[in-house]
């Protein structure tokens, strides 16, 4: 019987190098989502490329409620052409990205025209889209499937509670989802409690029959899916 697989994407990279170094030191096939225009975005992306890590552009998108998604964000006010241009500029800022996931974006990911524009750029460039599912109203996954862009969506945020023990329990929950479905995708952040939980918990996965893989291994491709 095949192993259950999990993928873990580390969001919000680009603020500093130290967190990426500590995660890379685990020697595990995590995926790394880099914000495009933070102080250390270029340096972190270069580090990840040098270690052969899987890199995503963590594309800022406007959320509901007015929180600031950071520089280079897609907004609801943009025309489709502007959203496409903003996506291209952000991709140019994270060299080596093989896919994209959304940073925030509860407003934009529910806007079909904007998502069609952004995902159209991914289609042009042969990249994938991971829907972070920051909103139940997100159409990103469906738009990507309609465009035949390889896609998936996260199953669980692992560190919604910033506590090492709670994060360990969330990893166990992700494993349970993977055993039920065959595979599962978690998203986490480079926080001290998360790093500590990963260092104590993730090296044990193989002994539990769980295969940790890059998120690109768990994509759905429309041509392989039933109608």
Residue 8 has pLDDT above 60, yes or no: yes
Residue 154 has pLDDT above 80, yes or no: yes
CATH of the domain at 179: 3.20.20.370
Residues 19-38 pLDDT 10s: 999 999 999 999 999 999 99
Grade residue 3 by pLDDT with cuts at 50, 70 and 90.
Answer: confident
Computed over every residue of the chain, the mean pLDDT equals: 95
Q: What is the pLDDT of residue 141?
A: 98
- Give the integer Cα–Cα distance in Å for 207 and 210: 7
Q: What is the pLDDT of residue 224?
A: 53
Q: What is the pLDDT of residue 1?
A: 44
The domain containing residue 23 runs over which residues? 4-224
**Mean pLDDT across the stretch 162-183?**
97
- Give the integer Cα–Cα distance in Å for 98 and 76: 25
Can you give the length of the chain in residues?
227
Written as six digits, the tokens of 154 are 């996260």
Instruction: Give Cα separations from 93 to 14, 85, 181 (angstroms).
Output: 11, 13, 35
Q: What is the pLDDT of residue 226?
A: 46
Q: What is the pLDDT of residue 221?
A: 79
Grade residue 227 by pLDDT with cuts at 50, 70 and 90.
Answer: very low
Grade residue 222 by pLDDT with cuts at 50, 70 and 90.
Answer: low
What is the number of domains present in the chain? 1
Q: What is the pLDDT of residue 26?
A: 94
The pTM score is 0.95
**Mean pLDDT across the stretch 221-227?**
55
Written as six digits, the tokens of 7 are 């993928």
DSSP secondary structure string for all residues of 34-88: E-SSSTTHHHHHHHHHHTT-EEEEEEEEPPTTS----TT-B-TTS-HHHHHHHHH
For 62-220, strand residue ranges (E) read 99-104, 128-131, 151-153, 156-157, 183-188, 210-212
**Mean pLDDT across the stretch 83-102?**
98
């Amino acid at each position: 019987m095949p192993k259950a697989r999990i993928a873990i994407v580390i969001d919000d990279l680009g603020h500093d190098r130290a967190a990426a170094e500590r995660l890379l030191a685990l020697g595990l096939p995590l995926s790394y989502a880099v914000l495009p225009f933070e102080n250390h975005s270029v340096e972190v992306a270069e580090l990840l490329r040098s270690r052969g890590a899987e890199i995503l552009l963590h594309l800022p998108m406007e959320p509901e409620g007015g929180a600031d998604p950071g520089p280079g964000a897609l907004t609801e006010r943009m025309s489709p052409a502007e959203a496409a241009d903003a996506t291209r500029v952000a991709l140019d800022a994270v060299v080596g990205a093989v896919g994209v996931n959304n940073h925030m974006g509860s407003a934009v990911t529910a806007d079909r025209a904007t998502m069609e524009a952004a995902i159209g750029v991914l289609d042009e460039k042969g990249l994938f889209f991971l829907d972070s599912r920051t909103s139940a109203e997100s159409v990103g996954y469906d738009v990507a499937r309609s465009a035949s862009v390889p896609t998936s969506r996260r199953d669980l945020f692992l560190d919604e509670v910033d506590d090492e023990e709670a994060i360990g329990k969330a990893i166990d929950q992700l494993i349970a989802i993977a055993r039920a479905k065959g595979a599962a995708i978690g998203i986490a952040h480079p926080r001290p409690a998360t790093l500590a939980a990963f260092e104590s918990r993730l090296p044990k996965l193989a002994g539990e029959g769980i295969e940790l893989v890059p998120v690109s291994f768990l994509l759905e491709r429309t041509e392989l899916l039933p109608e």
